[in-house]
Amino acid sequence: MATPNLALIPSGIKATKVYSVLPNNGDGDFTFDRASTATRINKDGLIESVATDVPRLNYELTNGVAADCPSLLLEPSRTNKINYHIPNSNWVIENGAVVTENYAVSPDGTQNASRIQLDNSGASSLTRIFKNITPDSTADSISFYIKSNTGSAFDISFYLRDQGFGTVRFSNTSLSATTEWSRVTIENQDLSGAAADVMLLFYNTTSDESWDFLLYGVQGEAGSYSTSLIPTDGSTQTRVAETCNGAGTASTFNSTEGVLYAEIASLTGAANNSDRRIVLAKSGDTNNVIRLHYNNTSNTIQFKVRVASTNVCDLTYDLGDSTEYHKICGKYKQNDFALWVDGVEVATDTSGAVFPADTLNTVNFSNANASGDEFYGKVKELRVYNEALTDAQLQTLTT
């Protein structure tokens, strides 16, 4: 296998910088920006906060176990509209419900999770706790971490309702509070028609039964999908959008032939994930770019080569589920373009020009202007090769 001229395997970072493995002279390093703190899952599987402008190497959890290797996590700006992400006395607690603060160890590894007890035994009214959320979008998402405190799983009810127990916006009466922490997400809810605030309610609808569970990390955000936890303690908090751009120089890349490769996953498979771009480009020139991006069809990846404002290659493929990791590459060469996904050549184009020598000079997780169409997702690896690899090499690379 040929050696890439640029290789990013997320591992080396510092404030404002994501280091590439190749080239080793610093030309391949990315400039990173996020004007706020943010959270990640660390190598121990715990949620932790990282400082302003520090990139996030995120160790995803599978069945409660952290991945061996991290991915670079890039997310848009979001605000947690629930001003106490851990339930406490500032939540509304009614009809015999009991909230015990700092009762158990939470997903961040500290003893700050709240215990919720809802007991309808002999009660004349439903026991419940709730927090109001100000709806401001036709696409709101709610998320929280939950765990049984009884030693066995049981089903629990939660609702999104208009304030004053009006219209039910969302209901779930069969959520299983398991014996391990799990994150529940309620995504893409149209709450815009609510007359006032929307309530997130947990309440016991059964008779002669007590519920005992742990709750942590409650988040309400304007957006069609849930993002990483934004902790709050008395007021809403915002995580600012992230950018990661500017790797390479004209001497790093071959403008006449090569391969752009990435192992990536999107944050949502929906069509509104469109135009999340990774580009090899002439800096500042959107008319001379090579790009891999999620397009405006759900779960679809697109490989496009644009030379002097003309699209000379435009290939698409349905990934099935773009939120899963896929190994994707686009090959470019005069009259020889191809899109490969997970070991298979899925689309080709045998007609088209390429760039004059020394045109391409940067890689961005956005468009060529390093502003707009930012890539939001998870990146395990990024490579640029300065030759059009053979089919056998491309199969090996993407398998």
- In whole angstroms, give the CA distance from residue 221 to residue 81: 6
Q: Which range among 269-283, 284-298, 338-352 shows the weakest confidence by mean pLDDT?
A: 269-283
pLDDT reported for residue 104: 98
**Is the pLDDT score of 122 beyond 70?**
no
Domains of the chain with CATH codes: 6-75+245-398 (2.60.120.200), 92-239 (2.60.120.260)
- What are the helix (H) ranges across the chain? 391-398
Task: Write the Ramachandran bin of 370: left for phi over 0, alpha for psi from -120 to 50, otherwise beta.
Answer: left
Cis peptide leading into residue 23 (ω within 30°): yes
Q: What is the pLDDT of residue 207?
A: 65
Mean per-residue pLDDT over the chain, rounded = 94
The three-state secondary structure class of 148 is strand
For the chain, how long is the longest CA-to-CA vector?
Answer: 81
Give me the mean pLDDT over the 217-242 stretch: 96
Lowest mean pLDDT among 15-29, 82-96, 179-193, 296-310: 179-193
Bridge partners, residue 332, by sequence: 258
Q: Is the pLDDT of residue 123 over 70?
A: no
- Residue 124's pLDDT is 59
User: What are the angstrom distances between the C-alpha of 307 and each of 193, 256, 290, 338, 388?
Assistant: 46, 11, 9, 16, 17
Integer Cα distance of 15 and 33 in angstroms: 8
> pLDDT at position 387, please?
97
What is the mean predicted confidence (pLDDT) over 269-283? Answer: 91
More confidently predicted of 63 and 344: 344
Q: Is the pLDDT of residue 201 over 90?
A: yes
What is the predicted pLDDT for the residue at 329? 98
